[in-house]
Structure 1
Amino acid sequence: MTTSDDAVAIALGYARDVLVGSRANCQDVVQACRQFAEDIARNDGRYVMDANRANHVVRFAQALPHIKGKWARTIGKDARIRLEPWQVFILVAIFGFVDRTNGNRRYREAYLKIPRKNGKSTIAAAIGLYMLTADREPGAEVYSGAGTQKQAWEVFMPAKQMAKRSPGLLKRFGVTIKAESLVVDKDGGKFEPVIGDPGDGSSPHCAIIDEYHEHRTDGLYDTMRTGMGARDQPLLLVITTAGDNEGGVCYQYEQECRAILHGQVEDETRFVLMYGLDPDDDWQNLANLPKANPNYGVSVNAEFLEAQVRTAISTPRKQNTIKQKHFNIWTSGASGWMDMAGWDKCADPDLLEADFRDDDLYEGLDLASKVDVASHVRVYVRRGRDGQDHYYVFQTSYVPERAVLDTENGNRYYAGWVAQEAIVATAGEVTDFTAIQEDIMALHRYCTRSRKLGYDPYNATQMALNLMEDGAPVMEVPQTTRYLSEPMKWIDALILAGRIHHTGDPALRWMLSNVVTREDSNGNLFPRKQNRDQKIDAAVAMITAFAGVLAIEDDYVDVTGVQRFEKTHSRPSP
């Protein structure tokens, strides 16, 4: 643990270790450390290091309690925060350098780009509490701002819990804990979360903007920055991981910060520290994990993170998330859903659909457009020798003859797939829905155990009514995240387990490869395509069929929109 008078030495030691390569770091971190070491060595410019201020903030931070993870469960002083050298480096740099002309801090702004689980919220909470109390700013206003209420509390809640478990802090500085704020009684200072653009009127001494990559505008940033004019030494702290919108405000802000860091733009009042990989680094190489994660092996569980990377390598839809959150790599947003190599391993060209007529049948129907592809997918369930259910997938896609013949504007593979019977060309300019309906009815007369036929109500309501009148067990599956996310995740797991089987159908494979997805903040998925020429209809129909297998919700409705069915198939484990 850092002692009361060695913070600058530890920060400088960290910088020198980075510079000599004792621990691998990206060039952005190397440059930040080089600048720090040079500024201390110079000692004759406008800005100098004040060791007392540096030690003061480090002592304050290490007097605060841990409130998360295994450290929070320890007893006595060992439950106090133990700053790692890189964290000491941050505090010393931000709070230690002062302007020799007036004694105020050099840095009025700081950009910290740190991957998840490396403790950036903890250090931000400590900074917020310090600025509220020990920085001796009368009526200090401290804000934790974000684009959503949940995110705004990601920094404020740890700060509130730290204060609650620090009776000495509350007594010394006269802090009262309220439901949504911390208040300094004697001068009205406050620490509270804010959401979105709070409007004018605030006078922040410290503004913490969390996960800036999620902000749609720079309204909060601008409001906080302009509101600091009445403060002598305020701090605007921007903390984030990488995101998926390179046209957004955070990415543009980062480019400004990088230009400042590398001397292309002069701004001596903004501190920049960005952990991540260099452009030529391979994120799939596990040896690069410590390079991007400064708390690797401390707050970042090495085995857990390595397992996450291995999973992402074989699961394309997880790759953007792992790149953004754990390597700080900006991505384009959507990523491929299906592990096509895994899908190919499940192929068995000798499979015959006729052999499954006595097995449980679940179907998915996607009738996106009469002038485009329509798909009908069948999933048969059969108990395997391993004692688990296995799933056998067959599909038929339909396109109008016009689309098959229009090789210039359509898909040049259609004609070949018609010859292979992977797709069916229906006569005329538009897809013949009547032919699809007749094929489904014929299938139901042949199969003995038809269980569910899932369909998207957007274009298929009339056909569903007709099929229901013919005795088909139709099930409405709205094309929303709520209904499609779990089947998509389950399909991933089944492929990994080798429990999905298919013939290697080229049309189905092509449409699966076209599916891209982006996880939302709750980890939900939804199938999308990058452009209109990349069809995904058979993939969506397959997901819809698996929704019927799972029966993941008890409020799927039948075609009448009135009756509800109870779960008839317990959720299988992959």
Structure 2
Amino acid sequence: MKLTKEIQDSIPFQYANDVRSGKITTGKYIKLAVDRFFQWIDSAEKDGYHIDHNSGMHVIEFFEFFLKHTKGPLANEPVILSPYQQFTFYNIFAWKDENGNRRINHVYEKVARKNGKTAGLAGLGLYCQSFDDEEGAEIYAAATKEMQAKVCWEQAHDFVFKGIGLRKIGFKNTQREIRFEHRERNGNVRKGNFRFLGGDSKTQDGLNPSLAIIDEYHAHKDDGVKEVLESAMGARQNPITYVITTAGFNTTSVCKAAEDVYKDILDGHKIDNHTFIMIHDLDEGDDWEDPANWVKANPNLNVSVSMKYLKREYTKAINQPSKIPNFKTKHLNMWVDAAETRIEDHIWMKSDKKIKLANFIKNGCAGALDMSSTTDLSSLGLVSNPDENGIIDILPLLFCPSDTIDKRSKEDKVPYRFWKDLKLKDYIDFEGTDFSEDNFWEKLPVLIATHGNQIDYATIEDYLQKLEAIFLPKWWEYDRWSATQLVQNMTEKEIEMHPFSQTISHFSEPTKQFEKHAYAAEFRHGGHPILRWMMSGVQAYEDPNENIRYVKNRSTKRIDGIIMTIMALAGTITPEEDNNESKYNHEEFTL
């Protein structure tokens, strides 16, 4: 295939040549993507394809001519695609067969955050809606949740809102879709719609997508949303599925499995000449702490993401190691096994001084309960307000049916029977109280075995009332789905109970506060052995909006006591108001 000087001097070709020569630093898989591009050129005639240079450049020119930045220091300046973006979009639209149909109908792009993906895909959606020769074009920005899907769509909405040129050619915004209608010189009317779709959308029927943008693929538990859209593309001549993502925490996810296939294609082990692949990764063996390697995952370095910003995020991660997995996945595109310990034991045990009971009375406190199924662990406890040194005390009570202790010991491989015989008083500082000789504290075990083979909720009620009488907590946080009868009983006794929603958005802020205090050694938990064991089993699930919630890892470890502690901590933060809900149930705390 003959390439003119104009073609070879274009930015997409310059990018490919600069990657090939090493002038642009990239990882292995971008080099392989460029090699594949040149291989396609060499075999184009044999394979029945050619490069339509004008079509490849048209999408690039659309950005500069029609789109203006909507925020930040570049606001109102034309959007000029970076070389790596131009190379990607050029390949999608330039490669055609003898009938003029596109070669590429599937794209997988893995790129770190802040590298211009939202603006790039929003602009791509508007282009495909208006200039892609698809009758009745339907563009969908899709994600696991509508909220995430709207991120790309809202950027497109902003482009139209601030783009006079876009509105002149027929774009119009509505509340849930961007519409396009343009009458051509021959009298034909070209129409298109741009919508957002989440796995939680009320309806996924009646779809006929011409472009499906699958955002943050790493967060998808399965291919449900993707398959709904792809299965609806059958009537389209040149549909595109564009999958874009960072790395994530689940190394067994559909995204990671698909990426392994894409890497096999680039490595030459598998063949798929209709999928275009751009994986911006560090190479195996690269030192992730060396800033010289970070550009491999950040092709827009010092354009939309600065080295100063990345170094700042790196420093935060090093100072608070629980943030390292997030830095690796979001900024370096490194897959991280979620089973990695969230807060390492040596960090947790910096707060192992004995629990000061006097502080619950002197400084005030809040309680929480995390009720389990009938045969599992349940937890009940208090978290104090900070003392004059900013230290917060944690008092946990853990419950297990006595008849299941041996079974639990075998399953969980931890000494439940030993814990049942330990006394909680050995982890408590009684100074400032007259409780040390009290029969209740004298006999209280670390693990409370309730009678029979199921949790005895009456026993838990008795302990809650005892702690209520001693410490007068502000209120008790509870999961409304698991403690209905107990809450009703306590409410009848005029004990204040607060429902705590178990959604990730409501857990996120108190969980982040919990981590902040743990890393600053601002807790006092006495080295409680069950809490210590539970902490070692904690991993964090993070959604695309950086909300986090603790979940247990793949082992049999349990985290009930940690969840209870976070709920009680939220209770101490919530101001006293007339209602009886945690403040984290309110919309303004939905992050």
TM over 0.5: yes
Shift of 1:250: 4.7
AA matched with 2:61: R
RMSD of aligned residue pairs (Cα, Å)? 4.1
TM alignment of 1:409-488, pairs within 5 A: 409=411, 411-422=413-424, 423-426=446-449, 428-430=451-453, 441=465, 443=467, 446-447=470-471, 450-456=473-479, 473-478=495-500, 480-481=502-503, 484-488=507-511
Tell me if structure 2 keeps the 8 A contact 1:146–1:211: no
Tell me if structure 1 keeps the 8 A contact 2:500–2:582: no
Change (3 A) 1:235 1:520: closer
Q: Corresponding residue for 1:551?
A: 574
Q: Partner of 1:82: helix, strand, or coil?
A: coil
Alpha-carbon separation, structure 2, partners of 1:427 and 1:565: 29
Q: Deviations over 1:353-389 (max 9, x none)?
A: 357653423333334356443433232335325xxx4
Alignment size in residue pairs: 540
AA matched with 2:90: V
Change (3 A) 1:412 1:116: closer
Change (3 A) 1:421 1:458: farther
Match of 2:93 among 88, 92, 95: 95
Alpha-carbon separation, structure 1, partners of 2:456 and 2:209: 66
Change (3 A) 1:335 1:56: same
Alpha-carbon separation, structure 2, partners of 1:8 and 1:420: 76
AA matched with 2:172: I
Match of 1:144 among 116, 140, 144: 140
Alpha-carbon separation, structure 2, partners of 1:80 and 1:131: 19
Alpha-carbon separation, structure 2, partners of 1:552 and 1:203: 48
Is 2:530 the partner of 1:507? yes
Alpha-carbon separation, structure 2, partners of 1:65 and 1:522: 26
Alpha-carbon separation, structure 1, partners of 2:583 and 2:122: 48
Alpha-carbon separation, structure 2, partners of 1:424 and 1:201: 55
Tell me if structure 2 keeps the 8 A contact 1:207–1:224: no
Tell me if structure 2 keeps the 8 A contact 1:316–1:338: yes
Q: Corresponding residue for 2:108?
A: 111
Change (3 A) 1:553 1:335: farther
Q: Partner of 1:62: helix, strand, or coil?
A: helix
Gaps of 5+ in 1: 558-563, 568-574
Q: Partner of 1:228: helix, strand, or coil?
A: coil
Alpha-carbon separation, structure 1, partners of 2:547 and 2:576: 15
AA matched with 2:30: V
Match of 1:362 among 355, 359, 366: 366
Q: Partner of 1:227: helix, strand, or coil?
A: coil
Q: Partner of 2:511: helix, strand, or coil?
A: helix
Shift of 1:496: 3.4
Shift of 1:31: 0.2
Change (3 A) 1:354 1:403: farther
Sequence identity percentage: 28
Shift of 1:323: 4.4
Alpha-carbon separation, structure 1, partners of 2:352 and 2:395: 11
Is 2:183 the partner of 1:182? no
Tell me if structure 2 keeps the 8 A contact 1:112–1:272: yes
TM alignment of 1:105-504, pairs within 5 A: 105-134=102-131, 137=133, 139=135, 141-147=137-143, 148-163=145-160, 165-168=162-165, 171=168, 174-179=169-174, 180=177, 181-186=179-184, 187-194=188-195, 195=197, 202=208, 204=210, 206-213=211-218, 214=220, 216-223=224-231, 225-229=233-237, 235-243=240-248, 250-251=255-256, 253-281=258-286, 283=288, 286-312=291-317, 321-330=326-335, 336-338=341-343, 340-349=345-354, 351-353=355-357, 357-368=361-372, 371-385=375-389, 389-405=390-406, 407-409=409-411, 411-422=413-424, 423-426=446-449, 428-430=451-453, 441=465, 443=467, 446-447=470-471, 450-456=473-479, 473-478=495-500, 480-481=502-503, 484-504=507-527
Alpha-carbon separation, structure 1, partners of 2:43 and 2:564: 67
Change (3 A) 1:223 1:556: same
Q: Partner of 1:518: helix, strand, or coil?
A: strand
Change (3 A) 1:129 1:384: same
Shift of 1:348: 1.9
Alpha-carbon separation, structure 1, partners of 2:8 and 2:58: 9
Gaps of 5+ in 2: 425-445, 585-591
Tell me if structure 1 keeps the 8 A contact 2:114–2:304: yes
Alpha-carbon separation, structure 2, partners of 1:5 and 1:113: 30
Shift of 1:542: 1.4
Alpha-carbon separation, structure 2, partners of 1:44 and 1:371: 68
TM alignment of 1:552-567, pairs within 5 A: 557=580
Q: Deviations over 1:90-142 (max 9, x none)?
A: 2333333444x45655434433232332112322333344444455x374625
Deviates more, 1:19-28 or 1:113-122: 19-28
Tell me if structure 2 keeps the 8 A contact 1:218–1:249: no
Alpha-carbon separation, structure 1, partners of 2:308 and 2:464: 49
TM alignment of 1:73-92, pairs within 5 A: 73=75, 79-92=77-90
Change (3 A) 1:378 1:203: closer
Q: Corresponding residue for 2:587?
A: none
Q: Deviations over 1:321-359 (max 9, x none)?
A: 54444333455667755454432222224x543576534
Q: Corresponding residue for 1:541?
A: 564
Provide the TM-score with structure 1 as the length reference.
0.78
Change (3 A) 1:344 1:22: farther
Deviates more, 1:85-94 or 1:317-326: 317-326
Change (3 A) 1:287 1:419: farther
AA matched with 2:182: V
Alpha-carbon separation, structure 1, partners of 2:105 and 2:447: 66
Tell me if structure 2 keeps the 8 A contact 1:115–1:293: yes
